[in-house]
């Protein structure tokens, strides 16, 4: 198991993803402000990982509070949640994770639960969310595995693996499950400029699992698709709107258009916590703009002329019409997505037979 993050008696330990693949070092956050810094600086990144990190950050903030009365603690909890929520805007899992602990806190506080019991309960819930994340990834991995070819090459963009979650991963979880069932899968990992999550992180974790992996520059996949060398595309998601439009790492949208042009299925794998039924469509998803230095510099070396204008949106939105299926731990969603998501949100799950009848 890759130790992306871990609750410890001293705080929350994070594998420092900014140092991978060259160094495996850990950062210990002993208070919620340090957790927020770890999220903002992308020491931990990936929608699911920052969701659970946000939850653990709120739990850590409550645990470390010295408030003796509930009114003081209430005010602190609002500040803790606001501080953590201000770190990264796009992945809805962050707000979901913070909200899970906040809702539990509010319910316990309203029921006059003693503060020590509240502290125990929020820490227990945050740690439980870690286990639930792994379980969700394994379940969606099992659902999605049969969508991948028995033998072939799958393209992925960014890192939607164990490092983007508490373990196993979403898109890479599906690949892991398919390989475990005997599929012979080779992976093309887009390098994912400018932060290189594919080259640094996806390649690192797939190589640890001995899954054959080849890194591509982001501009190579059209050529390889045209040559018939890619049989499926699978990516993760940072936020899926109620109509299926999907925000994921910048460049995903372009890959989806290429896949459609070449008749290649394009799959999104994400836990239910990534679906934002309160956001009607993708144009409403906030897109994080990151530091231009990520584009101008590589490993501290300047790559562009001083003073040149830079764009650095961290995510783009793939319209639902380019998505062949959305794989969740509750089942597989197909177009029309608005209806499929609404039904799944209401608890209706597609019958197993329907899942098994799905073919590429
Ligand atoms: O900026 P990042 O590295 O946090 O972005 C991550 C991605 O876009 C992943 O592909 C996405 O989180 C899906 S994996 C849970």
| Ligand 1 center from residue 270 Cα (angstroms) | 11
Q: Which residues are marked as active site?
A: 238
Residue-number span of the structural domain to which 178 is assigned: 140-358
Residues 170 and 32 in one domain: no
Last residue of a domain, one of 137, 161, 188: 137
The reported pLDDT for the residue numbered 39 is 98
Q: Looking at ligand 1, which atom is closest to the CA of residue 288?
A: 1
Mean pLDDT, all residues of the chain: 96
The reported pLDDT for the residue numbered 2 is 85
Reference 307, options 321, 296, 318; nearest CA is: 296
| Ligand 1 center from residue 160 Cα (angstroms) | 6
Q: CATH number of the domain that 127 lies in? A: 1.20.120.420
- Mean pLDDT, range 69-90, rounded to an integer: 98
Residues 246 and 119 in one domain: no
Geometric angle at alpha carbon 325, from 323 and 328, rounded to 5°: 125
Reference 50, options 108, 8, 91, 81; nearest CA is: 91
Q: Exposed, middle or buried by CB within 10 Å (0-12, 13-18, 19+), for 87?
A: buried
Q: Looking at ligand 1, which atom is closest to the CA of residue 314?
A: 1
Last residue of a domain, one of 84, 111, 137: 137
| Ligand 1 center from residue 112 Cα (angstroms) | 39
Residues 261 and 274 in one domain: yes
Q: Which two tokens stand for residue 211?
A: 């899954």
Q: Which helix H or strand E contains 315, and what residues bound it?
A: strand 315-318
Question: Residue 113: left if φ>0, alpha if ψ -120 to 50, beta else—which one?
Answer: beta
The band of 348, judged by pLDDT with boundaries at 50, 70 and 90, is low
Residues 127 and 158 in one domain: no
The band of 358, judged by pLDDT with boundaries at 50, 70 and 90, is very low
Count of beta carbons in the 10 Å neighbourhood of residue 220: 15
The reported pLDDT for the residue numbered 349 is 53
Mean pLDDT lowest among 30-34, 342-346, 354-358:
354-358
| Residue in this structure with the two tokens 């019409």, named with its chain if needed | 321
Residue 28 has pLDDT above 70, yes or no: yes
The domain total for the chain is 2
Q: What is the pLDDT of residues 309-319, one digit of tens each?
A: 999 999 999 99
94 lines ligand 1 (CB under 6 A): no
Residues 93 and 171 in one domain: no
Last residue of a domain, one of 97, 120, 137: 137
197 lines ligand 1 (CB under 6 A): yes
Q: Looking at ligand 1, which atom is closest to the CA of residue 49?
A: 15
Mean pLDDT lowest among 15-29, 288-302, 336-350:
336-350
Q: CATH number of the domain that 150 lies in? A: 3.40.50.10470
- Mean pLDDT, range 351-359, rounded to an integer: 44
Residue 139 has pLDDT above 90, yes or no: yes
Q: Would you say 87 and 123 are in contact if contact means Cβ atoms under 8 Å apart? A: no
Check residue 194 and report its DSSP letter: T
Residue of minimum CA distance from atom 5 in ligand 1 = 46
Residues 120 and 178 in one domain: no
Alpha-carbon distance of 9 to 91, in angstroms, equals 28
The reported pLDDT for the residue numbered 302 is 98
The band of 61, judged by pLDDT with boundaries at 50, 70 and 90, is very high
Residues 115 and 35 in one domain: yes
Residue 329 has pLDDT above 80, yes or no: yes
Query: What pTM did the predictor assign?
Result: 0.95
Residues 189 and 329 in one domain: yes
Residues 117 and 188 in one domain: no
Collapsed DSSP state (helix, strand, coil) of residue 300: coil
Q: Which two tokens stand for residue 220?
A: 């190579």
The band of 1, judged by pLDDT with boundaries at 50, 70 and 90, is confident
Geometric angle at alpha carbon 54, from 53 and 57, rounded to 5°: 85
Check residue 332 and report its DSSP letter: E
Alpha-carbon distance of 238 to 10, in angstroms, equals 30
Q: Which residues are registered as beta bridge partners of 184?
A: 151
Residues 155 and 281 in one domain: yes
Residue of minimum CA distance from atom 6 in ligand 1 = 46
88 lines ligand 1 (CB under 6 A): no
249 lines ligand 1 (CB under 6 A): yes
- Mean pLDDT, range 248-273, rounded to an integer: 98
The reported pLDDT for the residue numbered 303 is 97
Q: What is the pLDDT of residues 33-52, one digit of tens each?
A: 999 999 999 999 999 999 99
Residue 353 has pLDDT above 50, yes or no: no
Residues 217 and 353 in one domain: yes
Residues 180 and 262 in one domain: yes
């Amino acid at each position: 198991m890759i130790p992306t993050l871990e609750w410890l008696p001293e705080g929350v330990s994070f594998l420092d993803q900014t140092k991978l693949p060259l160094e495996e070092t850990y950062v210990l956050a002993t208070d919620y402000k340090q957790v927020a810094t770890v999220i903002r600086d992308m020491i931990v990144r990936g929608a699911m990982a920052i969701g659970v990190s946000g939850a653990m950050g709120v739990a850590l903030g409550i645990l470390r509070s010295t408030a003796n009365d509930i009114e003081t603690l209430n005010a602190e909890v609002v500040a803790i949640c606001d501080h953590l929520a201000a770190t990264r805007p796009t992945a809805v899992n962050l707000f979901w994770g913070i909200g899970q602990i906040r809702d539990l806190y509010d319910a316990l506080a309203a029921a006059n639960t003693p503060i020590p019991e509240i502290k125990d309960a929020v820490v227990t819930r945050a740690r439980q969310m870690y286990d639930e994340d792994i379980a969700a990834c394994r379940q969606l991995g099992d659902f999605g595995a049969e969508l991948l070819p028995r033998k072939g090459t799958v393209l992925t963009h960014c890192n939607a693996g164990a490092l983007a979650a508490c373990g196993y991963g979403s898109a890479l979880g599906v690949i892991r499950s398919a390989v475990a069932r005997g599929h012979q899968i080779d992976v093309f990992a887009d390098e994912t400029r400018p932060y290189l999550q594919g080259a640094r992180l996806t390649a690192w974790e797939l190589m640890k699992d001995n899954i054959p992996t080849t890194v591509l520059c982001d501009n190579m996949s059209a050529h390889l698709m045209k040559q018939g060398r890619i049989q499926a595309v699978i990516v993760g998601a940072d936020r899926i709107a109620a109509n299926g439009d999907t925000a994921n790492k910048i460049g995903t949208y372009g890959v989806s258009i290429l896949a459609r042009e070449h008749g290649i299925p394009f799959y999104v794998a994400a836990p239910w916590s990534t679906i934002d039924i309160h956001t009607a469509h993708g144009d409403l998803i906030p897109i994080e703009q990151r530091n231009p230095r990520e584009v101008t510099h590589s490993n501290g070396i300047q790559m562009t002329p001083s003073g040149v204008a830079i764009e650095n949106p961290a995510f783009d939105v793939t319209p639902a019409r380019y998505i062949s299926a959305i794989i969740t731990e509750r089942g597989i969603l197909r177009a029309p997505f608005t209806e499929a998501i609404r039904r799944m949100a209401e608890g209706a799950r597609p019958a197993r037979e329907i899942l098994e009848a799905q073919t590429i």
